[in-house]
Structure 1
Amino acid sequence: MLPLLTAQQIRDADAHTIANEPINSVDLMERASKAFVGWFVNRFADRNLKIAVYCGTGNNGGDGLAIARMLYSHKYINVAIKVARFSEKSTNDFNANLNRITQMGLELHELKPDTPFLTENADIIIDALLGSGINKPLSGDYKRLADFINDLHKTVVAVDVPTGFYTDGEMDKDATVVHADLVITFQQPKVNFLLPESAPHIKCWEVVNIGIDEGFIQSLKSPYQFLEEKDIRSILKPRHRFSNKGTYGHALIIAGQAKTMGAALLSSAGCSYAGAGLTTACIPESGLIALNTYQPEAMAIIRKESMLPEIEWDKFSTIGIGPGLGKGDDALKLFTTVLKNYKKPIVIDADALNILAANPKLWSKVPAGSIVTPHMKEFDRLFGDHDNWWQRLQSAIENAKKYNINIVLKNDYTLVATPEGKVYFNSTSNAAMATGGMGDVLTGIITSLLAQKYTPAEACILGVYIHGKAGDELALPNRMNVIMPGRLAGQLPITMAKLMA
Structure 2
Amino acid sequence: MRTLLTSAQMRSADQFTIANKPIASIDLMEKAARAFVQCFLRDQFNTNKSVAIFCGKGNNGGDGLAIAHLLIANGYENLKVYLVNFGEKQSNDFAINLQRMEETRCKKTIINQASDLKSLKADIIIDAILGSGLNKPLSGEFEALAENINKLNKKVYAVDVPTGFFAEGKLPQDYNGIKAYKTICFQRPKINFFFPESAMATEKYEVVDIELDEVFIQKQEADFYLLESHDIEKILQARKLFSHKGTYGHALIIAGNNQTMGAALLAAMACLHTGAGLTTACIPQAGLTALNASLPEVMALTRDEYTRIENPKKYQAIAIGPGLGIETDHERLLESLIMAKYPMVIDADALNILSERSDLLDKLAADTIITPHMKEFDRLFGEHDNWWDRVQTAKLQAKKHGIVIVLKNQYTFICLPTGKVLINPTGNPAMAQGGMGDVLTGIIAGFKAQQYSAADAAILACYIHGKAGDHLAEEQFVIPASHLATGISKEIKALMSQ
- Give the structure 2 partner of residue 349 of structure 1: 347
CA RMSD of aligned residues (A): 1.0
For the residue of structure 1 that corresponds to 2:51, the secondary structure is: strand
Aligned: 1:388 with 2:390: no
Which residues of 2 match residues 478-493 of structure 1 at below 5 A?
478=475, 480-493=476-489
Letter in 1 for 2:329: D
| Contact preservation (8 Å) 2:79, 2:107 | no
- Give the structure 1 partner of residue 223 of structure 2: 223
- Give the structure 2 partner of residue 455 of structure 1: 453
- Give the structure 2 partner of residue 498 of structure 1: 494
Deviations 1:452-473 (A, max 9, x none): 1111111111100000011111
Q: C-alpha separation between the residues in 2 aligned to 1:19 and 1:67?
A: 24
Q: C-alpha separation between the residues in 1 aligned to 2:438 and 2:426?
A: 17
Q: CA deviation at 1:115?
A: 3.8
Structure 2: runs of 5 or more not aligned: none
For the residue of structure 1 that corresponds to 2:67, the secondary structure is: helix
Aligned: 1:466 with 2:455: no
| Contact preservation (8 Å) 1:318, 1:344 | no
Instruction: Name which of structure 1's ranges 239-248 and 491-500 shifts more when overlaid on structure 2.
Output: 239-248
- Give the structure 2 partner of residue 417 of structure 1: 415
Which residues of 2 match residues 307-346 of structure 1 at below 5 A?
307-308=307-308, 311-341=310-340, 343-346=341-344
Which residues of 2 match residues 43-442 of structure 1 at below 5 A?
43-113=43-113, 115-308=115-308, 311-341=310-340, 343-442=341-440
For the residue of structure 2 that corresponds to 1:206, the secondary structure is: strand
Q: C-alpha separation between the residues in 1 aligned to 2:10 and 2:305?
A: 56
Q: CA deviation at 1:22?
A: 1.2
Q: C-alpha separation between the residues in 1 aligned to 2:114 and 2:233?
A: 56
TM-score for the superposition, normalised by structure 2: 0.98
| Contact preservation (8 Å) 2:175, 2:201 | no
Letter in 1 for 2:493: A
Q: C-alpha separation between the residues in 2 aligned to 1:328 and 1:304?
A: 12
Deviations 1:325-356 (A, max 9, x none): 11121110111121133x34210000000111
Structure 1: runs of 5 or more not aligned: none
Q: C-alpha separation between the residues in 2 aligned to 1:39 and 1:113?
A: 31
Letter in 2 for 1:312: N
For the residue of structure 1 that corresponds to 2:180, the secondary structure is: coil
| Contact preservation (8 Å) 2:114, 2:142 | no
Q: CA deviation at 1:114?
A: 5.7
Runs of 4+ in 1 over 4 A off after TM superposition: none
| Contact preservation (8 Å) 2:226, 2:423 | yes
Q: C-alpha separation between the residues in 2 aligned to 1:288 and 1:72?
A: 70
Q: CA deviation at 1:105?
A: 3.8
The percent identity for this pair of structures is 52
For the residue of structure 2 that corresponds to 1:3, the secondary structure is: strand
| Contact preservation (8 Å) 2:317, 2:445 | yes
Letter in 2 for 1:163: T
Q: C-alpha separation between the residues in 1 aligned to 2:422 and 2:313?
A: 31
Aligned length: 497
TM-score for the superposition, normalised by structure 1: 0.98
| Contact preservation (8 Å) 2:79, 2:106 | no
Q: C-alpha separation between the residues in 2 aligned to 1:452 and 1:160?
A: 42
Which residues of 2 match residues 17-32 of structure 1 at below 5 A?
17-32=17-32
Letter in 1 for 2:406: V
